[in-house]
Amino acid sequence: MSIWDAIILGIVEGLTEFLPVSSTGHLTITSKILGLQIDDPAITAFTAVIQFGAIAAVVLFMWKDIRRYAVAWFRGLRHAEYRGEFDHRMGWYVIVGSLPICIVGFLARDIISGPLRSLWWVGGSLIVWSFFMIAAERLGSQRRPLTRITLIDAVFMGIIQCLALIPGVSRSGATITAGLFRGLDRVAATRVAFLLGIPALVGAAVFELPHALDGSVGAVPVLVGTIVSFIVGYASVAWLIRFVAKHTTEVFAFYRILLGIVILILLATSTITAT
């Protein structure tokens, strides 16, 4: 992998990690365009590790909230009278909601990095999940702000987040959609999606780091891709929060459907190969 490849992939990761369009799907497509072997374990590991940049971006963007939840959570562990506070409960919601994808991701790691690394999966998942996104926008009441989130909401969003292990579904797309189905408003669902993504992305990046540094990638491209994803990711996170406050996420769903159709046509006509 060249430095230019790493820069391009870092840009794609930063742009798409928190948008509901599937960063893994876009990274897989971009890797294919760049002539990289998309089912190479080192390439798969690289796309996971550069998520460190996106993680750092969302942590920086939400630092005040994260710090407040963490302080309240630890305070509630020591003093029972604080356990009913929203910030303490939110700390538990993030922890519990993050468990499903950590468990499923570890158990299904060989499938995720193997058979699912196919553009057939990417194209199909981009299209199929888009209809769930549209349904959530049109059927969800969107009446509850973040302060009215419950443990059931967090668990449901955490379970649905596991579907993002399929390339093309989108982690943020899955969690935002789940939140909308539960009646959360868009900003609340998006903020919870960001928070639930931090443990999941950290776990995946740490696990894949040794594989990314070996083989066909190396340390310098990993570092460059991570830095670029951080810079672009911060701008992407800030933009999305402003966007969902006033606009529907259906525009992302329609984009996904169009992209998925293009990919499937190119595969069906043998213009491109699946791996």
pLDDT at residue 37, rounded to an integer: 82
Which band of pLDDT confidence, cut at 50, 70 and 90, is reported for residue 113?
low
Q: What radius of gyration, in Å, describes the C-alpha atoms of the chain?
A: 18
275 against 126, higher pLDDT: 126
Tokens 């590991």, residue located: 45
Q: What is the per-residue DSSP string for 23-85?
A: HHHHHHHHHHHTT--TT-HHHHHHHHHTHHHHHHHHHHHTHHHHHHHHHHHHHHHH-GGGTTS
Residue 114, pLDDT above cutoff 70:
no
* Token pair in block for residue 209: 């780091």
Residue 39, pLDDT above cutoff 80:
no
User: Across the chain, what does the average pLDDT equal?
Assistant: 91
Angle, vertex CA 256, rays to CA 181 and CA 179, nearest 5? 15
Say how far apart CA 131 and CA 68 lie, in whole Å. 36
Say how far apart CA 72 and CA 4 lie, in whole Å. 43
State the sign of the Cα–Cα–Cα–Cα dihedral 100, 105, 111, 116: positive
What is the residue type of 142?
Q
Q: Are 167 and 25 in contact (CB under 8 A)?
A: yes
Most confident of 64-73, 115-124, 199-208: 64-73
pLDDT in tens, 212-233: 776 667 789 989 999 999 999 9
pLDDT in tens, 123-182: 999 999 999 999 999 999 999 999 999 999 999 999 999 999 898 999 999 999 999 999
pLDDT at residue 216, rounded to an integer: 63
- Helix then strand then coil, % of the chain, to nearest 5: 75, 0, 20
Question: Residues 6 or more apart from 73 whose CB is under 8 A from it?
Answer: 87, 88, 90, 91, 92
213 against 29, higher pLDDT: 29
